[in-house]
Amino acid sequence: MSKKRPYDFILFAVIIVLLAFGINMVFSASMYIDKELYRDSFYHFKKQAVWAGLGLIAMFFTSKIDYKIYKNRKIIAFGMIVTIVLLVIVLFLPAVKGAKRWIGIGSFGIQPSELAKLMLVIYTADNLSRKGDKVKKFTKGVVPILLVAGLFAGLIIAEPNMSTSVIIVATAFAMLFVSGAEFWHLALLFLSGVGLGVVGILAASYRFRRFTAFLNPWADPLGDGYQAIQSLYALGAGGLFGVGFGQSRQKNYYIPEAQNDFIFSIIGEELGFIGVFFVILLFTILVWRGIKIALNCKDKFGTLLATGITSLLAIQTSINFLVVSSSMPVTGVTLPLISYGGSSLVFTLASLGILLNISRDS
C-alpha cells in the first residue's frame, strides 16, 4: 500500500483562521446587547467557543476516518433514516422565532437541516459514483438524486426554511454536473427549480414581501426593507479601514441579532473594505483548495464527495454575501465558520474534516 500524504495544510490553516476570526467577530457583534440583556458581554462568545470546541473535535475525528467508509450502504441508509426522522420530528415541536428548525437540548439546540446537507452530499456521491455512464440517463441518473434532494428540501421548506432547501438542491445540481450528467437534463432541472422558486415565493406572503423589498427596500424602510437598508448603512460606514473593532453602531439594535446572518455587514463596518477583502480571500482559498482536492482525488467517490462539500460551502457563503450586500432578497443563511450558530458550526467543521481526509489521497 502506498503511504498516504499529509493533510492539506493550506486548507487546515484557512479553516483555523476563519474559525478564530469568526469567534472574535461574534463577540464584537453581540457584546453590547449581551451586556444589556444577559448582564454578560461574553454570553454569545462563550457559547460560540463551546460549539467551536465541539466542532474541532468533530473535525479531528472525521479527518482521521478514511472517507471510503462513507460508501458503506448500511451507514448511508442509517444516516438517511435518522435524518428524515429528525426532519419530521422538528415539524411537531413548538416554533422558535416563527420557525420549527431546532430540536432543543437544554440551552442548546441542533438543526436537522444541517445534518440533511451532509447526508445529501454523502448519498449523492455514493449514488453517482456507482452509476458510471448511467448518469447520462435521466431516469437512472438524475431522478434518484432529484427525489432525495426534493424530499429533504420539501421537509425543510415546511419548517419553513426555503433558503436551506435552495442550498441543498443547488449542491445536488453541482454534483450532477461534475459527475457528467447531460446538459439538457441539468437545464431542465434548473428551469424546474426556478419555477418552483417562483411558486415558493408566491405561496407565502412574507417571501413575496421580501422579494418586493429587495427590488426597492426604501419603499418600506421600517418594514421588510429594514434589514437590507441597515446592512447597506453598515457596509457604507466602514469605508476603507472601518470604524474599528468593536465600534460598530449598526449592531446596537439597528441590525437584529447582528452576530447571526448579517455578521458580514458588521465586519464591513468595523474593518472596512480591507476586512471584507480579507474574508472573501480566505473563502476563495478554501474553495480553491476544495476544488483542487476534488480534481486530484484518486477515485470518483472521493472526487464527488469533495465536490459536494466544497459546493455546499461555496453556495452558502455566496448567498450570505449576496444577501448582506442587498444583491438578492433577504433570507436566513449563516456565513460558514463565522456566524453565530451551534449545529451549523459543528456540521461545517465535521464536513471539512472529511475534506481534509480526502486531501490525503489527492
pLDDT of residue 227: 87
More confident call, 253 vs 283:
283
Side chain identity at residue 271, one-letter code: L
Averaged pLDDT for residues 228-245: 90
303-333 per-position pLDDT tens digit: 999 999 999 999 999 999 999 998 888 887 8
Residue 132, pLDDT above cutoff 70: yes
For position 107, what pLDDT does the model report?
Answer: 56
pLDDT band at 1 (very low <50, low <70, confident <90, very high): very low
The per-residue pLDDT for 337 is: 94
Counting other chains too, the contacts that 187-191 makes at CB distance below 8 Å and 24 or more residues apart are: 189/142, 189/146
| Residue 220 scores a pLDDT above 80 | no
Per-residue pLDDT band at 106 (split at 50, 70, 90): low
**pLDDT confidence tier of residue 187, bands split at 50, 70 and 90:** confident
| Most confident region among 100-104, 192-196, 202-206, 299-303 by mean pLDDT | 299-303
More confident position, 219 or 265? 265
Residue 346 has pLDDT above 90, yes or no: yes
Does the pLDDT of residue 201 top 90, yes or no?
no
- Segment 23-81, tens digit of pLDDT: 999 999 999 888 888 888 899 999 999 999 999 999 999 999 999 999 988 999 999 99
pLDDT in tens, 202-213: 776 767 777 777
Q: Over the chain, what is the mean pLDDT?
A: 88
Q: Report the pLDDT value the prediction gives residue 302, as an integer from 0 to 100.
A: 93
Q: Is the pLDDT of residue 336 over 60?
A: yes
Interval 95-112 mean pLDDT:
72
Does 86 score more than 50 pLDDT? yes
pLDDT of 52 reads: 95
Does 278 have pLDDT greater than 80? yes
Reply yes or no on whether the pLDDT at 360 is more than 70. yes
Question: What pLDDT band is residue 97 in, cutting at 50, 70 and 90?
Answer: low
